[in-house]
Amino acid sequence: MSQPTTSLPSAGFPRTAALAAGVVVLILVIVILFQSLPRPEPPPSGDPRVERGRRLFFEETFEGNGRTCGSCHPAENNFTLDPAFIATLPPTDPLFVAEFTPALKDNFEKPDLMRKFAVILENLDGFGDLGNQFVLRGIPHVLAQRISVQSPQGPRTGWSGDGSPGDGSLRSFAVGAVIQHFTKRLDRVPGVDFRLPTDDELDALEAFMLSLGRQEDPKLPLPLKGEVARRGQEIFLDDALGKCNRCHQNAGANANFGGANNNANFNTGVEDLPDQPARLSGAVVPRDDGLGTPGDGTFNTPPLVEAADTGPFFHNNSIETIEGAVAFYNGQAFNNSPAGRALAGSDPNGVGIRLDATQVVAVAAFLRVLNAIENIREADALLQAALGSRAGAILKQALAEIRDAARVLEGGGLHPQAVDDLRQAEREAEKALRKRPPGGPHLGEARAFLAKARSKLSDP
């Protein structure tokens, strides 16, 4: 939703009579939602809940401050925010509601930091001390949720794995997001400052979120064609060298470490990084203690397939590039962290992660190519679906995926011939978008260029 890292301990509420009534309503809703969920199945093809969930996600304000789920998770920007995208928004966009709503001026967001670093304010430990109890986090994308959030302890949503009140499910996540981010006032009284989603709306939102992105992890290794990316994949999968696959099996969000094969939390030392961008601003940025209240310092594992085009990286947007994110694991902050020490302890030679600069670049190149392959898959699926009344909107999303694929490869100096094919696909898709109604033979041409680009990255 508008940021999937919301928790709502009842102790955090101010003790007013009106708010107490709201808390009762909220607790009842959460109790009804509570359930032990197996890994969710993908919605059936043509499930009407998906389309209803899409409309709710992008259009429903829940009678709050004007924000929707899409305010922080725009489809055209990979369902996340970064400073460059934020800079394109008009000053009246609901994302900036704290700048023009007096009741939300203080302690709802940190507008300057939001604009500079794409971080939003979260009250993970409740709303009892708004001026001091908060953290600032980036906005994780909501792609591939079906295969990314399950654990033996229940769903792991948000950056720290406790992004939903109650059972932690995607349904509860919607409730928490409305309370945290959609409110008209800081009192956060249900029925006054917002309305809570109905049960049917929660079903629809969950179905839509489960439909987003890929529905399975890739099966590595892939038959990659580029030498640098191919070597990066080898390092990624080498448990004695890169060790990446230990916590990101098949470049997904599920760990293969200590017998686990699901989403897991680790303390990787990101909070101990020096010179974090938001803190360099001189603003007060409280330490983020991760999972729980008080927190245990751990954060859950994000998928890496979509990583290269969804930066900045880590829960606090502390690293701008995918190369920098890979290099983080060479540094003292990681190797001195509990996760780094555990990784070294599992190594026969007691070594954590030690990669030379060329190896860091190789792993990043692999992640860039993997991301581009996923962009191409998604773009092709969207081009095939560009029919009917929503053809124009679907084509715009396909164009975003095509442009992302080209940008991700160009950013690493990779596969210039594939980039040229992607630019050709972009031109054909733009022609299809300009037609009235949108579509026509240019869709087939765009798909053909996508196939050519894909063939230059990897064998089938």
For residue 45, what pLDDT band results from cuts at 50, 70 and 90?
low
Q: How far apart are CA 383 and CA 327, in angstroms?
A: 36
Please, which pLDDT band fits residue 256 given cuts at 50, 70 and 90?
A: confident
Residue 21 and residue 133: Cα distance in Å, rounded?
23
> How many residues make up the chain in this entry?
460
> What's the number of CA atoms in the CB half-sphere (13 Å) around residue 434?
7
Residue 153 has what pLDDT?
A: 84
Q: What is the dihedral of CA 421, 425, 427, 432, to 10 degrees?
A: 160
58-77 average pLDDT score? 98
Per-residue pLDDT tens digits for 325-339: 999 999 999 999 999
Pick left, alpha or beta for residue 106 (phi over 0 → left; psi -120 to 50 → alpha; otherwise beta): beta
The phi and psi torsions of 172 (rounded to 5 degrees) equal -70, -30
How confident is the model at residue 266, as a pLDDT?
95
Q: Which two tokens stand for residue 130?
A: 């708004």
Contact 68, 197 (CB under 8 A): no
End-to-end CA distance of the chain: 35
β-strand pairing of 265-266 with 299-300: antiparallel
pLDDT of residue 38: 46
Average pLDDT over residues 201-224: 97
The pLDDT-based confidence of 27 (bands split at 50, 70, 90) is: very low
CA–CA distance, 140 with 248 (Å, rounded to integer): 16
Distance, in Å, from the CA atom of 106 to the CA atom of 252, rounded to the nearest integer, reads: 38
